[in-house]
Structure 1
Amino acid sequence: MKTLIISLGGSIIIPAPDKVDVKFLKKFRQLILDYTKRGNRAAIITGGGKINKLYNGFAQKIAKIKPIDLDWLGISFTRANAELVRSIFGDYAYEKIITDPTKKIPARGWSASGGKTNKKIIIGCGWKPGCSSDKDAVLIAKNLGAKTIVNLTNIDYVYTADPRKVKDAKPIKKMTWDEYKKLIGGKWIPRMNSPFDPIAAKLAAKLKLEVAIMKGTNLDNFKKFLGGKKFKGTIIK
């Protein structure tokens, strides 16, 4: 039995403030169900999405908002997205979202040593300010003794520079945690654009985790990853 930790980017779930990507979620749901029917477990941690960015913008137009309060706004949207994802899995998922990734997972059979369970899917969300939900995925991995996280985000690879700003930015297929941390820096800013947030990266490096970063909407590619086949993305370890 394998336990896969998935950091599901909020912009994949909600690509626009007024849109939930229903087509993606239908396919994602079936892919995860197929994966767990083979005896595996999946822990899915959701991000906030474009509506989070919209609300942050509204708040900042009204007053000067502290970074910690912007983080709390974001956490509320990660929870809403977690409830959405939990609901589409119905009885296949544990009935409560995981809001504290450091506590013992209450679902039966969900421990580092495993065990029998009829709920092979759990859904989690943001927990505390000062980082993105990527860190919660790392904390869940630590809690469950998992060694691999897949980060479904809005880019195909980690690049040498922001490809939206630098034309000759090159994709990186494999890199070390030291190389990654040097590339993105170590400071967290609410709603910052980074493939895997710097606070999460620091902890993942300490725990010697492997993180696969890939474009979340390319589910055929994700399926290849799940099957142990060659896939399009970046491995950090």
Structure 2
Amino acid sequence: MITVISLGGSIVAPDAVDEAFLKNFVSLIREFLETDAERRFIFVVGGGGPARVYQKAYREISAVTGKKAENNEADWIGVMATRLNAQLVRALMGAWCSQDVVTDPTQAVDMTGKVLVAAGWKPGFSSDNDAVLLAERFRADSVINLSNIERVYTDDPKKNPQAKPIDAISWPDFRTLVGDEWTPGKNVPFDPVASRRAAELGLRVICAAGRDLENLKKILRGEKFLGTTIG
């Protein structure tokens, strides 16, 4: 059984590396690996704070120097941040992960260990899309999307106090919420490009709070959990 987890950079490195979270996350994953011989994981790691800091610097310096900031360049900066975070996660997995960090999901080879770690691929979408492509490649029927939000809302709850949490939503309705266009650093529950491909595949995506590890245990065990199911 392969479980694909899109591990948001906002929980791995919101500003600096969240050492306490990673320690607990690695312990939880090892618990499942040691007690379930059939369990395997694919982690796709996002850029988080480092991506935002460097993208912001690029845009601000470009504005001062009179050079137009290009989305393509900003995306590449974000991709490199995902690779730094992914390398850290891979190292923490130790012997469970025997392969290099995957940077092109279309070229991923068969898993030789019980854990495979991937990072961003190229401009045009976030690491969420890489998670969808890897789910397709390894025939997983779902992606667990862990971020800094516990559920999808009808609107941005920080801006609209009337926004309501959603327990389950279809792909057409979800795509209406997030739109179709990707811009570097776009803050949505699941990347619009990834959403389009996931909808085509009939993939189920679970959006949940990444730091709530007890809730993650429930998801992994197939128990009732707090989050939003898309699809």
Q: What TM-score do you get using the length of structure 1 for normalisation?
A: 0.92
Give 3-state SS (helix, strand or coil) of 2:193's partner: helix
**Structure 1 residue corresponding to 2:27, chosen from 2, 5, 30:** 30
Deviations 1:21-70 (A, max 9, x none): 11110111011112222020100000001121111111111112100100
User: 1:107 deviation in Å?
Assistant: 3.5
Deviations 1:129-163 (A, max 9, x none): 10000000000001101111000011010000001
Residue ranges of structure 2 left out of the alignment (5+ in a row): 63-67
* Aligned residues of 1:98 and 1:105 also touching (Cα < 8 A): no
Larger CA deviation: 41-50 vs 24-33: 24-33
User: Partner amino acid for 2:205?
Assistant: V
How far, CA to CA, are the matches of 1:59 and 1:32 in structure 2?
A: 36
How far, CA to CA, are the matches of 1:36 and 1:129 in structure 2?
A: 33
How far, CA to CA, are the matches of 1:220 and 1:136 in structure 2?
A: 26
Partner of residue 92, structure 2: 88
User: 1:194 deviation in Å?
Assistant: 0.2
How far, CA to CA, are the matches of 2:110 and 2:145 in structure 1?
A: 24
Q: Say whether residues 1:45 and 2:39 are aligned partners.
A: no
User: 1:103 deviation in Å?
Assistant: 1.5
Q: Say whether residues 1:199 and 2:193 are aligned partners.
A: yes
Equivalent pairs, count: 224
* Aligned residues of 1:94 and 1:123 also touching (Cα < 8 A): no
How far, CA to CA, are the matches of 1:175 and 1:137 in structure 2?
A: 20
User: 1:96 deviation in Å?
Assistant: 0.5
* Aligned residues of 2:5 and 2:146 also touching (Cα < 8 A): yes
* Aligned residues of 2:151 and 2:167 also touching (Cα < 8 A): yes
How far, CA to CA, are the matches of 2:20 and 2:178 in structure 1?
A: 32
Give 3-state SS (helix, strand or coil) of 1:102's partner: helix
Partner of residue 132, structure 1: 126
Point out 4+ residue stretches in structure 1 off by more than 6 angstroms.
none
Partner of residue 116, structure 1: none
**% same residue:** 42
Deviations 1:84-105 (A, max 9, x none): 0000111111231011111242
Q: What TM-score do you get using the length of structure 2 for normalisation?
A: 0.95
How far, CA to CA, are the matches of 2:135 and 2:28 in structure 1?
A: 21
Q: Say whether residues 1:148 and 2:142 are aligned partners.
A: yes
How far, CA to CA, are the matches of 1:233 and 1:100 in structure 2?
A: 29
Give 3-state SS (helix, strand or coil) of 1:34's partner: helix
How far, CA to CA, are the matches of 2:98 and 2:76 in structure 1?
A: 25
Larger CA deviation: 175-184 vs 34-43: 34-43
How far, CA to CA, are the matches of 1:87 and 1:74 in structure 2?
A: 20
Partner of residue 3, structure 2: 4
User: Partner amino acid for 1:14?
Assistant: A
User: Partner amino acid for 2:52?
Assistant: K
Residue ranges of structure 1 left out of the alignment (5+ in a row): 109-118
Residues 146/163 of structure 1: CA separation in 2 closer, same or farther (3 Å cut): same
Partner of residue 177, structure 2: 183
How far, CA to CA, are the matches of 2:111 and 2:138 in structure 1?
A: 12
Give 3-state SS (helix, strand or coil) of 1:235's partner: strand
Q: Say whether residues 1:164 and 2:158 are aligned partners.
A: yes
* Aligned residues of 2:102 and 2:108 also touching (Cα < 8 A): no
How far, CA to CA, are the matches of 2:30 and 2:162 in structure 1?
A: 39
User: Partner amino acid for 1:86?
Assistant: R
